């Protein structure tokens, strides 16, 4: 446990928000041009070639079973919360998908402490905030972003520090290639007459979002997920329901028939399973305010940081030391 708290990732989060290592270098790319419908097969082929640079490593899924720093249920809870907030604020589907993409890429490269849930929630909020800034014309305040059953409420400065850490880990590459980069093109390939294009894209989008909580889909790349989603949407149209998944490989060079079929079959299982589930109201959890305080020292000095938590209701003043992090009540935390 102590080794996790002393790791570079949380040292950066708590004490190095002004680090030149994060803020120096070329300006970040802040355009979402990759999500515009592609007009040529050459563009799509380029996306297929580059998509490997915007997904976690091939062993990410297996590490959930072998690495104690990764918790598959914690990821599912975070994705579920992101989808709730996306629905609450009316964000674009791409915003939710990008949030999860940033979260997965971060978790593949950095470790989070396991004992308490606030680091994972902080990461989720930061990833959603970054995605919203990329895609949404109107972005809620950082406090208004923390809705739908959040267990902790983080101060804006804490979220901004985490955003900087995420940007550094992702090397400022926020223009991710996602399944939405391919759906319009694949829909045109499946329906050249454009009779059902609108439905195919809309339904495929729903299917993609409904599947991102399932860790099994981490095994497949965005182009494969998009192709399988279009095929699944086509199953609901009598004129297209007989489309053979094996033919999807011919839509563009670089696609794998075996991967598309495997993803398509998995998607059918999930769609059938989800069709029988009813949405339940989110649990109401107590909200806590979290403040992360730290100061920057030179590289030769050790970093110090503190974390303070407070409940919205008056409680007796308590504090406890956990490794190098001090947890205190907010109403007396400023006295430290």
Exposed, middle or buried, 249 (CB in 10 Å: 0-12/13-18/19+)? middle
Q: Do domains 71-170 and 179-276 have the same CATH topology?
A: yes
Q: How far apart are CA 251 and CA 205, in angstroms?
A: 19
Q: Please give the backbone phi and psi of residue 310, each rounded to the nearest 5 degrees, phi first.
A: -140, 150
CATH topology of domain 71-170: Cyclin A; domain 1 (1.10.472)
> In this predicted model, what pLDDT tens digit does every residue of 301-329 receive, in sequence order?
433 333 333 333 333 333 333 333 333 33
Total count of residues recorded for the chain: 336
Query: pTM higher than 0.85 for the full model?
Result: no
> In this predicted model, what pLDDT tens digit does every residue of 39-50 receive, in sequence order?
577 788 889 888
Distances (CA, A) of 279 to 3, 4, 82, 84, 150: 40, 37, 15, 11, 18
> In this predicted model, what pLDDT tens digit does every residue of 105-114 receive, in sequence order?
999 888 887 6
Q: Name the 3-class secondary structure at 260.
A: helix
Q: Is 206 left (phi over 0), alpha (psi -120 to 50) or beta?
A: alpha
> In this predicted model, what pLDDT tens digit does every residue of 221-258 receive, in sequence order?
999 999 999 999 998 888 776 677 788 888 888 888 89
- What are the residue boundaries of the structural domains of the chain, listed by start? 71-170, 179-276
Q: What would the two tokens of residue 275 be?
A: 């069709």
Contacts of 169 (CB under 8 A, 6+ apart): 9, 105, 106, 109, 110
Neighbours of 306 (CB within 10 A): 17
> In this predicted model, what pLDDT tens digit does every residue of 69-121 receive, in sequence order?
788 888 999 999 999 999 999 999 999 999 999 999 999 888 887 635 888 99
Q: Name the 3-class secondary structure at 153.
A: strand
CATH architecture observed for domain 179-276: Orthogonal Bundle (1.10)
- Using the CB atoms, write b or e for 202-241: b if 16+ within 10 Å: ebbbebbbbbbbbbebbebbbbbbbbbbbbbbbbebeebe
* Residue, of 188 and 33, whose pLDDT is higher: 188
Pairing of the two strands 304-311 and 325-328? parallel
Helix axes 8-15, 156-169, angle to 10 degrees: 140
């Amino acid at each position: 446990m102590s080794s996790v708290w002393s790791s570079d990732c949380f040292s950066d989060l708590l004490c190095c928000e002004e680090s030149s290592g994060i803020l120096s270098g070329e300006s970040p790319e802040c355009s979402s041009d990759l999500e515009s419908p592609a007009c040529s097969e050459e563009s799509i082929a380029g996306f297929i070639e580059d998509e490997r640079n915007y997904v976690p490593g091939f062993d990410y899924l297996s590490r959930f079973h072998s690495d104690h720093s990764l918790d598959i249920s914690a990821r599912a809870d975070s994705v579920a919360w992101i989808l709730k907030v996306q629905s609450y604020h009316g964000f674009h589907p791409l915003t939710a998908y990008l949030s999860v993409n940033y979260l997965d890429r971060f978790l593949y490269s950095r470790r989070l402490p396991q004992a308490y849930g606030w680091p994972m929630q902080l990461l989720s909020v930061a990833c959603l905030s970054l995605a919203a800034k990329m895609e949404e014309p109107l972005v809620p305040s950082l406090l208004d972003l923390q809705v739908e059953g959040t267990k902790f409420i983080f101060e804006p400065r804490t979220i901004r520090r985490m955003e900087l850490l995420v940007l550094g880990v992702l090397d400022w590459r926020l223009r991710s290639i996602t399944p939405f980069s391919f759906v319009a093109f694949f829909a045109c390939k499946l329906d050249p007459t454009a009779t059902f294009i609108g439905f195919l894209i809309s339904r495929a989008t729903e299917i993609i979002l409904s599947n991102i909580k399932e860790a099994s889909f981490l095994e497949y790349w965005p182009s494969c997920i998009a192709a399988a989603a279009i095929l699944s949407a086509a199953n609901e149209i009598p004129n297209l329901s007989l489309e053979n998944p094996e033919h999807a490989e011919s839509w563009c060079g670089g696609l794998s028939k075996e991967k598309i079929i495997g993803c398509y079959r998995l998607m059918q299982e999930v769609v059938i399973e989800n069709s029988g589930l009813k949405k339940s109201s989110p649990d109401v959890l107590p909200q806590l305010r979290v403040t992360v305080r730290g100061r920057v020292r030179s590289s030769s000095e050790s970093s110090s940081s503190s974390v303070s938590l407070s409940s919205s209701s008056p409680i007796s003043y308590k504090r406890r030391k956990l490794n190098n992090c001090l947890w205190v009540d907010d109403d007396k935390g400023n006295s430290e």
